[in-house]
Amino acid sequence: MAEQFETATFGGGCFWCTEAVYQQLRGVKSITSGYCGGSVPKPTYEQVCSKRTGHAEVVQVVFDPREISYADVLEVFFRTHDPTTVDRQGNDVGPQYRSVVFYHNDQQRRTAEQVKAALGSAGVYAAPIVTTIEPMTEFYPAESYHQNYYASNPRQPYCSFVIAPKVEKFREAFADKLVEA
């Protein structure tokens, strides 16, 4: 059955935020927070935060394309972070917070380019989209305490003040794509 699933990998700021959004999305089977796009093998969180590894904080999303398309998964990605800022999402600043799509095959690359172009030409954002679309490289899962972070720490200040409003905004905008309660 797992061979029927697809994998998408995105960096859109803090992986805690991105993970929390995708946990709400119908058709998503699993999410793993991690690191991708850098030169250091098996980096630690501290190494990535040093801004010297080249890695982005990413989520790897396994989804069922019979329930949700890659284009819809991409739309959620683009609309739940600011794809117009370089190396920044809110107060999170640095190359590890860059906006990036890591494509797993040529079809994903084409779809990502199409979705990015469509959003750009539709004038959805006041500034140009700076999200890069790059070939998938080695993915390194983040430390266990980063996995399922929001669900495990909802009262942590960052979760309360940054992630909770983002999840609520997502739930309002994508009500038709949510996991049934």
- The tens place of each residue's pLDDT in the chain, 181 residues long, gives 557 999 999 999 999 999 999 999 999 999 999 999 999 999 999 999 999 999 999 999 999 999 999 999 999 999 999 999 999 998 899 999 999 999 999 999 999 999 999 999 998 899 999 999 999 999 999 999 999 999 999 999 999 999 999 899 898 988 888 887 5
Spell out the CATH class of 2-167: alpha beta
Q: How far is CA 24 from CA 80, 112, 167, in A?
A: 12, 21, 8
| Closest of 12, 16, 8 to residue 82, by C-alpha | 12
Number of H helices, E strands in the chain: 7, 8
For the question of residue 14 being annotated catalytic, the response is: yes
The answer to whether 29 and 62 are in contact (CB under 8 A) is yes
The answer to whether 94 and 43 are in contact (CB under 8 A) is no
The answer to whether 33 and 152 are in contact (CB under 8 A) is no
Q: Which of 14, 17, 36, 159 is catalytic?
A: 14
